[in-house]
Structure formats: structure tokens, C-alpha cells
Amino acid sequence: MFKEYKTILPYLKKYRLFYGLGIFFLVVVDAAQVFIPRLIKKAVDVVADGGYVMADVIKPALLMIGLMAFIAVGRYFWRYFIIGASRRIEAELRNKLFGHLMEMSSDFFQDNKTGDLMARATNDMNAVRQSIGMGFVSFVDGIFMSSLILIAMISDNASVALYTVLPLPLVTVLILFFGRLVGRQFKRVQEVYSKLSDIAQETISGMRVVKAFVKEKYFSARFSETNDSYRDVTMDLVKTFGLFFPLISFLAGLSTAILVLAGGGAVIANKMSPGDIIAMIAYLEMLIWPMMGAGFTVNLIQRGTASLKRINEVLNRKSAIVEALDATDVPPSGDLEVRDLEYSYSKDGAKVLQAINFKVGEGETLGILGRVGCGKSTLIKLLPRLLDPGPEKVFFGGKDSSSYRLSALRSVFGFVPQESFLFSASVKANILFGVEECPDERFQALSRIASLDRDISLFPNGWDTIVGERGLTLSGGQKQRIAIARALALDPRILVMDDALSAVDAETEERILQSLLLERKGRTNILVSHRVSTLRHADRILVLDSGKMLQYGSHEELMKDKKGFYAEIARLQELETELCADSPDSPGSAGSAACAEEGR
Amino acid sequence: MAEFFETDDVTKGYDSTIASRILSYMKPHRGIAIAALLALIVSTAGELLSPVLIRRAIDDALMKTWFSVSVSVEDSPEAAALKLSESDPRIGDRIYMRSSRFSALSAKEKTSLAASGAFDTREVYVFPLKPEQEGQAALLSARPELFTIGTEYGVISIEALRGLPSAEARALRQADSALVLRYVLILGMILLAILASTFVMVYFSNLLGLRVMKDIRMQLFGHVLSRSFAFLNKQPVGRLVTRMTSDVETINQFFTDVLSAFIKDASIMAGALAVLYFFDVRLALVVTASLPIVLIAANVARKKARDAFRNQRRWTSKVNSYISEHISGVEVVKLFRREKKSKTEFSEHNENLKKANLGEMYVFAAFRPAVDFMATFTTALSLCAGAWLYLSQSISLGTLIAFVNLISMFYSPIKDLSEKYILLQSAMAGGERIFTLLDADETIPDKPSLPMPSRIRGHIEFDKVWFAYKEEEWVLKDLSFTMEPGQMVAIVGYTGAGKTTIANLVTRFWDIQKGEIRIDGLPVKELPLQGLRTKIQPVPQEVFLFSGTIAENIRLGEDVSLERMKLAAEAVHANEFIDALPDKYDTQLSEGGSNISQGQRQLLSFARVLAHEPSIIILDEATSSVDTETEKLIQRGIEGLLAGRTSIVIAHRLSTIRHADKIIVLAKGRIAEMGKHDELIKRRGLYWNLYRLQNSGLV
């Protein structure tokens, strides 16, 4: 069970001073706390015996106040040290986890869904923190405090003390028992709760069907049923809870009752002073917490271990894409060549790509055309080793792509992915995502090339407008154009655009292409597109079909093959453009965008 | 994953409008609320009673003492305040009374009594003589010098009593032991009553919370279901789900944790204070005097805690969304070689989160010990004050001890005040979000002026229809066409031409802005919505299957006989795959029907439509590209679905509609061409071009 803790052992060692001081304060506070009832006892006894002067009472009272001030300060410090250490370790562990995630290769993210990884980075992280924070505290506190109190009580009156604490171990047993029961019931509640949420989600997502079939009542009834079962399972949990805490109070009260009975007998028999009873009542109150704590410790550590195991599962995974030991740091240069490339996503899976051969010389532009799912995106992901092409398949300047360090290899690429993923940051930060700094002139030039200059007036805060999940919602075209500027900002040796203008209207597309190609003069480009208007700018065009090369040549060459796929597509698209432009409405940008952008 | 990103902060303070609106949901469950309240009263009373009982046990049994007064002053005005009676024990010329009777006198009365010289302030212990008790008799005869014996009672000085050996003391005080036992038994019963009533309280308050939650959830659910698409399309599904789930949960907490805790804490505090006053006004005043300081401290802590908590929430959500975003965008991070920079940026956010977490820890680390300190401080103060009062014979020891208990009871609710305040805040925030949704009033008006005809022939007419999803961005412009009963009309056009929109208009998922749509000559706006939608069945592009069995997905709660369901499935050739499944129609579909193929899902949705026997079908063909096998499967299904029915087909695959009675080619919201397949092909226009483009497989 404790082997999982290997991961956090170095952190625990690092913060051993925190833990050491924390334990020190915890123990000192415990000792001081145990001393307080003795002071009360003294004061009460002095009073009960009569024949005292006020000074006899004021002295213990002052001492008590001083002690309590000391305890308050001590409590602050054990929290400061132990809880503080747990928070610090949590932060460092989260850093480590995040760093590790950033190192993982694509296959890892296919195996692990974002939601699950998030659960590990949040809920599991919390459980681990609690086990090394409060779990640790209640463990130390429980052992130390309960033994101190027991010693104090027994030294006052052994037999009364033993009778009195009799019900208390039951508290620990109760917590252990109920803890498990509650765990089970809670899981059940969570299940039904997520079912409730699923039904809501499902019904809202399927609203079209619900309304089309006029089934509002049926789905309400379904929802209502799940609500009822949620009520039932929650009430099971409530019954446990409703019994659990009052039962603990009851046991504590029972101890007090026993104390009054046994202690009262002792007082009558002149074996105990009234002060002793008061002190014992105070001790009993103090004992409840360590007794509960013992149960909680077990639960917290159990949960912490399970969660740490889940975190370790991630940390122990190695990236599938590894760098060779002798890999060079020098960025590749020269021709890009692909020889006899084939690829499948899993070992025995179907081949997504087969027998791909092509060569892009420095300063050349390659176009790639193909149907949906023909392997275009896979092909270009293999070039910077986002996916691993395997040895002797992809060459830069005649050297195998695996002979370069990943960072060196990727440094020559500027990528505009198919899904233009932007981060929740300002437009400017997104554009400058891959560069350290950028002179203003250059930035303005980039925004012109990507045709972003005319959008900027639409953004509420100009370039500083936050985009993404919590910011401004951008249109698909705007996102693509920001992604283009982002790639261009790198001034990469090889620019790869994966269908990067699909959401941009034809007019803007042409404008971007013109300025883009001017900017990219003398450098290498790879343009994936299903528009001939884009592809005709390429020196050579590769037509892919079901992972195989169907055609390969220059625009002119391919156009000559009148029966060929490429020429056919070219003719059709020409007609389409004409029809769109000929439409009786004003050909404003919104109108022509409608031809390109997805409808509802 | 909405829970990771819920940014709506808990900045909402107490808001009486929201609170009273939340409370109004209690009305139908008055009985439960009252039961919970009664149980709450019992448990609170019980908790307050236990220290009182312990006090009685100490004063009446353990620390029983007497004073005596001379018979000579029995009728004097000074002694009147002592309320002497015949039943007070008398030995010789002295009358004995419990010392508490003397403590209760005012200082003036005490002085005048003491001045009379007839009063003896030495404490003694009085016991009834019981010769039949061996122990007592033996003690009396063995140590006669300690006792003064009367006819019914004996007296011993307190000092002498305390000096007796255990066995003898016990023998003398048998009555006291019996009394302690009685008190302890009562205490035990009170403890049981607390146990039972607390359970009942927890049970009913949770039941109340759950019932209210269900009411709110059902109201929200019904509300959302009846909103128009104009409203729904603006709302992310995740947000609506959050409203129905976690936001409602905050209201539950309002009932179970905030409201009942508030009532209980308030009554415990008030009760403890009341009992304190009842015991002794002066001591109670000492406690009361400390209250403002504590409340001020609590208020400061509440504000600090709120700020710390808000800070914590802010950074937690920032860090979480940073992680989630970088997992989703991990390829971009890698392509731009941002791993290091992202790690640095993350560790900065993470550092801020750590600081916020530590900030919260500091507040709580300081506040709780501070309240504890205040409690002890007050205890010490009242001990001093009490000792002084005791010294002047004003209070009993039991009172003093009960005080110590009551003070700690008084302070305990303050300790988690800020936690409860935070819960209150989130309930307020949750309530506000829920009520905002409930107050949103965007529906398709359903005020029919015509009854739904029992049979629809199937004549559909679009008369100069103008439609826009958003203001003035016309998707359909002046669209007019008619179709005759039994016909199949196909609508084709490029993406964005407005085809799918047409499917949305006939059954009024959206209302048109200008023009009129008529069914059998009746304007759809004048027909009852439910009737309209039962007779005309749109088949949306996206197949949507619910979790449940195949049969449930076909029936959707409708009373469809097995036979009819099977017929429907056969008509669209869905029976072929259903019969091959081990559980046939009772096969459980996983989420989104992912355990059957895409084509099978389509067929199932066709079967669903046929089982509901609509008069008119509006089929919006799926656009997604599928393999040839699936394509064939779906084609057969569509043929079965449409055979012999009036239908509008929004076609993406032109092969489906070759035999349509009428093909309408839409371009930019207007009709560009209209006619039969062969006519349109011959014309070599838009349709011809579309036809060839689609065969290329690129779109």
C-alpha cells in the first residue's frame, strides 16, 4: 500500500523541516491543551473547599488565559507548517504532472480522455493533499492526544476514568464501519446523480427529437423517475449520516453520564474532588476528536493511496516518441523526402497510408488533395514526428528524421492545423504563441498577410481581446486566420497548412494566398486543401486516395490528364464559383461566405 | 466538464428576494418542514437541558450543604426572605435550610441576617435518621462526637464529612447516591431523545431539501423543454445541465446545511444565553459582554474568508482550465515547441493557486484558534467572576460548572460560521442563476384558433416565406412552392443554401417572419402545436438515440404494439440487424447508440418515425460521408421510409431523389431551378453541376 507513496517521498523529505516543526507545535499544543482542565480543576477545587482569597482563583485563571493564547498561536503554526507543506507539495506535484503531460505523445491522449486526466489533476490531487495534510495531522494528533488525556484521566482516578472512556473506542469502530457504508452509499448517490445529469444532457441534446415527436411528457416522466431514485439513494445515505453523527454525540454524552454516576459516587465517597469531575468532563470533550480522528485517518489515507495510484499511472507512462541518444541539436535543412512511407495507428490496424514517396526541395511548394479520410492529416503529422513514421521513412537533407532532437526537428516547421485550436489568451498572445519577441512592424505585417487587420476593429479590446473558452467567440474563419498568423510568426523553413482556409470565403482566401506566397518566396510550403484554387499555386501536387498516391505532378501536368481526378475537380469547382458569384444578391462577404461556410 | 470551469463566482451576498423565492418552494412540503422544526426544537432543548441536569446533580446531590438559623428569629422580618416552613429540618433550637436559599438573597438581606447573630454561615450536612440502616447506625454510635442528633435528622459539619473514610461517607449519603443515579438515568433518557430527534431532524430536513430539489429540477426541465430553439440555440447544453444539476444542489445545501444549521445554531446560542441568564444574571452579563468582540472577529474573518475563498476559486478554475486547454491543444504546444514555456507559465499560475490556497489556510488557521481562545478567555473570566460571587455566597458550585459547559456550547456555532456563510452565498448565486433561466420566456406561441383536423391529406404550401435566424440575415427569401398529397418533393442546393431550415419551419421549430406556411390550406400558426407535430414528422440529419433499449428508442414512451413496431422496423429493413442481436428489441443501447453502426442508427431512427405513423415526413438526409456498404443500407431504409407517403426530402445525396415528383434547387434562400431529375439534368444548370460535384466525393 505504501509503495505508491514513493512518488511523494522526495517532497516529504524536502519539507521535513516543515513536518518536523509542525509535529513539534502539534505536540506542544496537545500538551498545553491537556493542561487546561487541570487548571480548571484547581480553580474549582479551591472554590469548592472554601476559605480562599481571590488571588487563588485569579492565578489559575490568568495562567489559563496565557496558556490558551499560547495554544492559539501553536495551532496557527502547526497548520502553517503541516497544512502549508501539504499545499506546497500539492503544487509541486501538480507541476510535475502537468510537465509530464506536456511530454506525452499523441497515443497517450488517445488512450486517456481529457475528462479522466482532469479528474486525476483535480480530485485525486485533492485526496493526496488531504492524506499528507489533515490525514497526517489526525494521525499524530490522535495518537499523542489520546494517550496524554488517558494518562491524565487515569492519574486522577483510574477506575472512574476507565469506566468513563469505555464507550469511546466505539466511536472509532463506528467511523470505520460507517465510513465504509457511507463510501458505498455515496458512490451509489454519485452514480444516480451522474445518471440524472446524463438524462438532462441527453434530453437537451436530443431536443429536436423530443419536440419533433411531441414527447415532452415522456421525457419529463423519465427525468422525474430518476429524480425519485436520486431521492431514495440519497435518503439511504441521509439515514446513515443522520444516525452517525448523533450516535457519536450520544456516545460522548453517555461517557459524561457514566462520569457523573461513577465520579459522583467517588465524590460522595470522598475519593474525588468536584474539580476532578469538571476536569474529566473537559477531557472527555477533548477525547472525542482523536477518537473520530482515528477513523478519519484510516479513510483519508485509504483514499489518498488510491488517488496517488491513479496519479502514478500517468507519471509512470513513457512517451511513445523517443529521441535517439546521439540525436543532433542542429535543425535540419535541405530537401524533405518521404520514402516508401506507410502507417497504421495500431499494431494490427489497417494501413492509413501506403507506399508514399515524394520529395520537396528547398523553396518548393507541395500541394496535397484528397477525399475526407484519405490520410492527408496523418501524413503531415508524421513529418514533425507528432506521430512516429519509423526509421528510414522521412528524411531531411538526406538524414533520417529520428536523428534530430525533437525540438530541433520541429523548429523548422510552422503548422496550421486543421482544427485551429486557440488558447484562452489575447489575440496577440495567440499569434505570438511560438516566438519570444516580435517587433511591431513584423506583427503588423503578419496581421496583414493573414487578413486580420480588418477584423481588429471588431474586437472589443483590439489585439488584447481574450479569445477562447471564456473570451470572445470567434468565427471559424477568424480562428483559422489567427492560426495562420501564429504559424507565420515563426518564419518557419517549412510551412504546413492543413486545410487551413476551409472556413474563409473565396475572396479572402485568394487575398491571403497572394500575400502569403509572396511572403514565403524561396521557402518550403506544404498546402493541404480540397480547393484547386489553392493547390494551383503549388509546384507539385499529390493526390491521395485511401492512403495511396493517386496522382502526383504539377498543376499543369495534372490538368492535362483530362480524365484524372484532379482535372475533374478543377472543372467542377470552377462552375461552383461562377454560380456563387452569379447569384442575384449582392456579392458581399457574408453572401459568398455562405457558399463556403457550414450551414445550420 | 462544466464543473471545472464554472466561473460564476460566489460573490452573491444574501439577497432577500432570492431567499424568499427559494423558501416559497417549501410551501407544498409544509408538513415535512414542521416535522423537521419540531425535531429541531426537541434536540436543541435536549442539548441545553443536559448541562442543567449535570448542574442539578452536582448541587442537589454531590455538593449539598445547609445553613442554620435560630428558632428565635423564625417570625422576625429579617428571616421572612428565607421562607422558613414547618417542613424544614429542626434540631434543637436551630432550623436548617439549603445554602442555595441563602445565596438567592440580596446582599442587603444577607447583611441584615448576619447582623441578627441568629444566622450561622458554617456549612453543614443534614441527613435523615434511619436506624434501620446498619451503616448509618454503626457510624453514629462509633463517632458520636461528629454529629448533632435530633429526632428525625442528624447534622455533621462539612469538614468532618469530607474527612470521613469512603465506606462511612457512602453509608451516610445513600440518599445522595440514589439521587445521582436518578439524574443520570434522566440524562440518559435525554441523550436518547437527542439521538432520536436529531435523526428525525436530519431525515426530514434532507427529505425537504430533496423534495424541493425535485420540484425545482422538474420545473427547470419542463421549462427548458418548452423553450423555443431560438432560445435553446443560444444556450450551451453544458450550461443548462449545470443549472439542473449542481446549481439545484446548492439550494439543497441551503435547506440541509444552511437553514437548519442556522436555526439550530441560533437557538443553541439564544438558549445557552437564556439558561445563563436564568442561572445567574451577573455571570451571563460577563458572557454577553464578550459577544460583540467575538461577533466583530467573526465578521472580519467572514470577509477575509470570503476574499480568500474567492481568490482560491479564481485560481483553481484558472489552473484547471489551463490544464484542460493544454491537454486538448497538446499538439499545438508540441508543434510550436512551447513545452518549456507552457510549463513555466503553468508553474506561475500554479504558484498563484498555491498562494491563494495558503491564503485561505492562514485565514482558517488564525480564525478557529481565535474563537477557541475567546471561549476560554470568557470561561476564565466567568470563573473569576464566579469565584468572587461564590465567595460572597451568591452562587452554587453547580451553577459555576454548568456555566463552563454552556459557554463552550455558546461558542461552538461561531467556529464554522464562515463555512456556512459561504454555503449561503453559493445557494444565493445558484438560486439567481436558476431563476434567471426560469424567467427566460422565449417560446413558440401556441394559441391555436383552429382545431387539428383528424386526417391530413398532405397538401403543403409555402407562400412568400421569409425567414432569418438572426435579424435581417435572411436565410429564406420570398420562398413559394406547393406540394400535392402523396407527392415527394426534394430540396437540394449547396451547403448554406437554406435547405435544412425548411425542415425546421413546417412543424414550427422556428417561426417565420413573413409569409405563411399552410397545411391542407390551414395556416400552421393557427393549428395546435402538439397536433401539428404529431401529424408531420421531421427526421433530423443527426440521428439521436437515447440510452435505453431499442424498443424504448422506437416507442419513445408511445403505446406502440410490438406488432406495429416490428412492421415499422421491417419497412425500413431495420429488423434485419435487430433480429441478429442477442436481445433483439430489448438490446440496451450505449450512450449515443455507439454499440451499433452508423447505418443501423439511421435505420433505427427511420423505424422510430414509421412507428409513430405520421401523415407527412420531412427527411433531412445526413451529410456525413459513409462507406459504400452503409450507403446502400441507408438507401434501402429511405426507400422503405418514404414508400407511399407524402414527403419532403432535403437531399444531400442526389441518388435518393431521382424519382422525386418535384426537385427544388435552392440557392441563397431562393429557388434557382425546379423540375424533375431528367429535366434538370438536361438543363445543364445548377442541379447538373451539383450532381457531378457530389459524385466526386469531395463534399
Q: Give the CATH number for residue A133.
A: 1.20.1560.10
Residue A70 lies in a domain: yes
As given in the structure block, the three cell numbers for residue B85 are 416552613
Establish if A249 touches chain B: CB-CB under 8 angstroms: yes
Establish if B148 touches chain A: CB-CB under 8 angstroms: no
What share of chain A has pLDDT > 90, as a percent? 8
Q: Say yes or no: A46 and A163 in one domain.
A: no
Closest CA to B250 of B426, B53, B69, B112: B426
Q: How far is A465 from chain B (nearest CA, A)?
A: 17
Domain edge (last residue) among A263, A291, A317: A317
DSSP class of A328: B
Would the pLDDT of A583 be above 60? no
Residue A576 lies in a domain: no
The pLDDT value given to residue A303: 79
Chain B from 69 to 128: CB within 8 A of any A CB:
123
Establish if A253 touches chain B: CB-CB under 8 angstroms: yes
Q: Say yes or no: A48 and A14 in one domain.
A: yes
Would the pLDDT of A311 be above 80? yes
Q: Say yes or no: A230 and A105 in one domain.
A: no
The pLDDT value given to residue A330: 85
Higher pLDDT, B547 or A542: A542
Nearest to B221 among A83, A223, A530 (CB): A223
Q: Domain ranges in chain B?
A: 2-54+181-439, 64-165, 460-696
Establish if A260 touches chain B: CB-CB under 8 angstroms: yes
Confidence bin at A595 (pLDDT 50/70/90): very low
Q: Say yes or no: A391 and A267 in one domain.
A: no
Domain edge (last residue) among A295, A317, A339: A317
Q: What is the pLDDT of residues B388-426, one digit of tens each?
A: 776 666 666 677 777 777 777 777 777 667 677 777 877
Confidence bin at B38 (pLDDT 50/70/90): very high
Establish if A345 touches chain B: CB-CB under 8 angstroms: no
Q: For the CA atoms of A65, A69, A74, A80, what is the dihedral angle to 10 degrees?
A: 150
Would the pLDDT of B697 be above 80? no
Q: B493: which residues sit within 8 A by CB, 6+ positions away?
A: B499, B665, B666, B667, B672, B686, B690
Q: Say yes or no: A232 and A340 in one domain.
A: no
Helix then strand count (H, E) for chain A reads: 23, 10
Chain A from 399 to 438: CB within 8 A of any B CB:
407, 410-411, 413, 415, 417, 421, 423-424, 433-434
| Cβ–Cβ below 8 Å for A44 and B397 | yes
Check if the beta carbon of residue A428 is closer than 8 Å to that of residue A464. Answer: yes
Would the pLDDT of B671 be above 90? no
Residue A285 with chain B: CB contacts under 8 Å: 408
| Cβ–Cβ below 8 Å for A64 and B376 | yes
Question: H/E element holding B191?
Answer: helix B174-225
Q: Say yes or no: A391 and A531 in one domain.
A: yes
Chain A from 520 to 549: CB within 8 A of any B CB:
530
Would the pLDDT of A470 be above 60? no
Establish if B319 touches chain A: CB-CB under 8 angstroms: yes
Number of domains in chain A: 4
Chain B from 489 to 508: CB within 8 A of any A CB:
494-501, 507
CATH code of the domain made up of B2-54+181-439: 1.20.1560.10
Nearest to A206 among B211, B546, B693 (CB): B546
The pLDDT value given to residue A82: 92
Residue A206 lies in a domain: yes
Question: H/E element holding B518?
Answer: strand B514-519
For A190-218, b where at least 16 C-beta lie within 10 A, e where not — what string? eebbeebbbbbbbbbbbbbbbbbbbbbeb
Q: Say yes or no: A309 and A262 in one domain.
A: no
- For B193, the closest chain A residue by CA position comes to A250
Q: Say yes or no: A358 and A439 in one domain.
A: no
Question: H/E element holding B646?
Answer: strand B646-650
- Average pLDDT for chain A: 82
- Domain carrying residue A468: 420-481
Angle at A234 (CA atoms; ends A230, A235), nearest 5 degrees = 115
Q: How far is B468 from chain A (nearest CA, A)?
A: 12
Q: Say yes or no: A23 and A68 in one domain.
A: yes
Residue A589 lies in a domain: no
Q: What is the pLDDT of residues A251-295, one digit of tens each?
A: 888 888 888 888 888 888 878 877 777 788 778 878 877 777 777
Q: How far is A235 from chain B (nearest CA, A)?
A: 7
- Average pLDDT for chain B: 79
Confidence bin at A597 (pLDDT 50/70/90): very low
Q: Say yes or no: A350 and A381 in one domain.
A: yes
Nearest to B557 among A76, A215, A468 (CB): A215
Q: What is the pLDDT of residues A341-376, one digit of tens each?
A: 888 877 777 788 888 889 898 889 999 987 766 788
For the ranges A446-460, A565-579, B79-93, the one whose mean pLDDT is highest: A446-460
Confidence bin at B1 (pLDDT 50/70/90): very low
The pLDDT value given to residue A191: 80
| Cβ–Cβ below 8 Å for B391 and A54 | yes
Residue A276 lies in a domain: no
Distance CA A47, CA B399 (A): 12
Distance CA B335, CA B333 (A): 6
Q: For the CA atoms of A208, A212, A218, A220, what is the dihedral angle to 10 degrees?
A: 40
Q: Say yes or no: A173 and A153 in one domain.
A: no
The CATH number corresponding to B460-696 among 3.40.50.720, 3.40.50.410, 3.40.50.300, 2.60.200.20 equals 3.40.50.300
Mean pLDDT for B88-111 is 76
| Cβ–Cβ below 8 Å for B240 and A572 | no
Least confident of A472-476, B439-443, B537-541, B674-678: A472-476
Residue A236 lies in a domain: yes
Cα A499 to its chain centre, rounded Å, is 30
Q: Say yes or no: A354 and A405 in one domain.
A: yes
Distance CA B191, CA B193 (A): 5
Would the pLDDT of A402 be above 50? yes
Helix axes A16-49, A274-315, angle to 10 degrees: 170
Q: B255: which residues sit within 8 A by CB, 6+ positions away?
A: B26, B205, B206, B208, B209, B212
Computed from CA positions of residues A292, A294, A299, A301, in that sequence, does the dihedral angle turn out positive or negative? positive
The pLDDT value given to residue A579: 52
Check if the beta carbon of residue B438 is closer than 8 Å to that of residue B220. Answer: yes
Higher pLDDT, A57 or B176: B176
Residue A326 lies in a domain: no
Confidence bin at A391 (pLDDT 50/70/90): confident
Residue A182 lies in a domain: yes
Establish if A317 touches chain B: CB-CB under 8 angstroms: no
| Cβ–Cβ below 8 Å for A202 and B7 | no
